[in-house]
Amino acid sequence: MLLDLLNGNTDGLRLIITFFSRLFVIFCTMPIHEYAHALIATKLGDQTPRLSGRLTLNPMAHISPMGAIMMLLCGFGYAKPVSVNPRNFKDTKKGMAITALAGPVANLLMGFVFITCSVYMSILVKNSLIIYAIYNFLLFAGVLNVNLAVFNLLPIPPLDGSRILQLLIPAKYYYKFLEYERYVTIVVFILILTGVLSKPLSIISGFFIDLFTKIAMLPF
């Protein structure tokens, strides 16, 4: 592979960048995602995340082994959910929804920053392998952050979308949904692993990636 890189073959380099970009998401952006949950919950009056050691950027406090494996293999994954006590919020449903939304919003913001940096870096891409590697790393990191945000908005436990769903539908339907959450979760993860849901998720992610790219290109 090293010989291929020296000869200008970038396929091996892309694989390396993809792998390390996903590791970067697992150890850096996923913790920021969970930290955003913990920070907003604390700001809204619930000290549970702080008392349980989740108000930290230390990745070891947030990583879920299964979620990390899914990120490495599929480009979609999750971390350990931050425990909150909704009774500490002034408005229980709204507090839960805002706390849940904080994680995906953090990922979208990081995605925008990385994609913007990759656009600026692309202007410098000539024949430099180092510049090419940095550009692709930034782009992959941005795309993975967007993927993570979209994935976490799926309305299934333990993902953030299930907390947001609670605010959007009547309580009786939400609790009815919870009765079957185990089966729904298993089915959805099977659909993701078999690629059935990959295309719809990719379409949604693509919308944000194209939007961020167009915004980043506005000065040019």
**Model pLDDT for residues 184-220, shown as the tens digit of each residue:** 778 877 877 777 888 888 899 999 999 999 999 998 7
Question: Would the pLDDT of 156 be above 90?
Answer: no
Per-chain mean pLDDT for the chain: 84
Residue 25: give the domain boundaries. Answer: 2-217
Q: How sure is the predictor about 6, in pLDDT bands with cuts at 50, 70 and 90?
A: very low
| pLDDT the model gives residue 181 | 67
The most confident of the ranges 75-79, 157-161, 199-203, 211-215 is 211-215
Rg of the Cα trace of the chain? 19
Average pLDDT over residues 120-144: 82
Separation in Å, CA 190 to CA 34, 77, 144, 178, 180: 24, 13, 20, 19, 16
Q: Vertex 75, ends 4 and 100: CA angle to 5°?
A: 150
Report the catalytic residues. Answer: 34
159: tokens are 């993902």
| pLDDT the model gives residue 126 | 67
User: Model-level pTM?
Assistant: 0.83
Question: Would the pLDDT of 19 be above 90?
Answer: no
């006590």: which residue's tokens? 85
Number of domains in the chain: 1
Question: Would the pLDDT of 3 be above 50?
Answer: no
- The distance between the two most distant Cα atoms of the chain, rounded to a whole number of Å, is 63
